[in-house]
Amino acid sequence: MITIEKQPVKPEFTFKMFEILGGLWLTGCVKTAAELNIADLLASGPMTISKLAEETQSHEIQLYRVMRALSGAGIFEESENRTFALNDFGAALQTNVPGTAKNFVLTIMNEHFPGYGDLTYAVQTGKIPFEHIHGKDLWGFYKEYPEIGENFGKGMTGMSGMELKGIIENYDFKPYHKIVDIGGGNGVMIHTILNNTPDSFGIIFDEANVIEKTVKMIPENLKERCSVAIGSFFDRVPEGADLYTMKWIIHDWSDDECVQILKNCYNAMPKGAKLLIIDAVIPDDSLNKPHMAKLLDIVMLACLTGKERTLSEFKMIIERAGLQFNRLVHIGTEAKSIIECEKL
């Protein structure tokens, strides 16, 4: 018989566990604020809780409890007479503003959410909780439910707000004439790049269900220099560009799938063309330290075949596809870095 020596539990660590669960409860409140468009309502000025309840057709006392929890965490601000105001943190939940987190919150808290309660399934079977729960893979799910897919696309566009400035400030796109953004979604990154490189042309490449929205979102001033292309990066990608970008693509896929995508890039690239993988990188020296990439990896574990990688893991798939790793460029956020590769 095995005798297990149990360690005493220190109360402060029981409390730390309680605090971690608090993150979940708070996220539930963030979801409600997003669903009820609280940030949009407060954008026109502070509101009493009774007015907010009337506007959202809610139960005043219950809504107050949610708003109190949120303002306690710095999201919105409560003044003495149960009046709430928008602040910078709460403003990140507004609808249809650049950089909004609202749609991504709804993605994580709706279709992704049950997967986070089913991680043991992933761990014990090596399979994907999202598929266990929904009966199909994530991309197939978004094709079957276009409205949910559209919200996911807006979520990606909004979250790009975290890094676009860092990408533009830390990488010189001016030398490139033709730029293809592979899996470019609604195109916000290519729009930003083109607005900073007056002589470049851009192509947003993605699947048909996404591109039908993307094409309508090309800003008037870029219509001459920005176009779209439809296809799967498992078949081919547009040929002949001098720069290819892939933001939040490689982390969605297993090593073998990534090598297939990267080989298709290799085949489309002229000699000397560059490819930028823009993804989170788990630092080698982060043992026992928190890092956003380690948490984002749990999204991959719950929903996709992919994973977050260390730089050596990226180098391995890059080399397997025949490309050369050039350099790692930090852009000022843990959520992303630029890995520059080249076809020699």
CB of 286 to ligand SAM, least distance (A): 23
Do the beta carbons of residue 284 and residue 310 sit within 8 Å?
yes
Question: Measured from the CB atom, is 43 or 222 closer to ligand SAM?
Answer: 222
In this structure, is the dihedral angle defined by the CA atoms of residues 230, 153, 145 and 129, taken in order, positive or negative? positive
CB of 182 to ligand SAM, least distance (A): 7
**Cα distance between residue 158 and residue 29, in whole Å:** 20
CB of 328 to ligand SAM, least distance (A): 18
Question: Measured from the CB atom, is 15 or 234 closer to ligand SAM?
Answer: 234
By CB under 6 A, tell whether 234 contacts ligand SAM: yes
By CB under 6 A, tell whether 155 contacts ligand SAM: no
| Nearest alpha carbon to residue 269 among 247, 246, 239 | 239
Q: What is the DSSP letter of 25?
A: H
CB of 332 to ligand SAM, least distance (A): 17
By CB under 6 A, tell whether 247 contacts ligand SAM: yes
Q: Judged by CB under 6 A, which stretch of 53-61, 96-104, 120-128, 179-187 contacts ligand SAM? A: 179-187
| Nearest alpha carbon to residue 183 among 122, 128, 237, 117 | 237
Residues facing 342 on adjacent strands:
274, 324
Q: Judged by CB under 6 A, which stretch of 16-24, 47-55, 71-79, 178-186 contacts ligand SAM? A: 178-186
CB of 210 to ligand SAM, least distance (A): 4
> Considering only residues 115, 166, 184, 202, which one is a binding residue for ligand SAM as defined by CB under 6 A?
184
Element (H, E) at 68: helix 60-72
Do the beta carbons of residue 238 and residue 205 sit within 8 Å?
yes
Do the beta carbons of residue 81 and residue 114 sit within 8 Å?
no
64 CA to centre of own chain: 30
3-state SS class at 219: coil
Question: Measured from the CB atom, is 67 or 181 closer to ligand SAM?
Answer: 181
Q: Kindly write out the interface string for residues 104-143 of this chain, putting x where it contacts ligand SAM by CB under 6 A and - elsewhere.
A: -----------------------------------x----
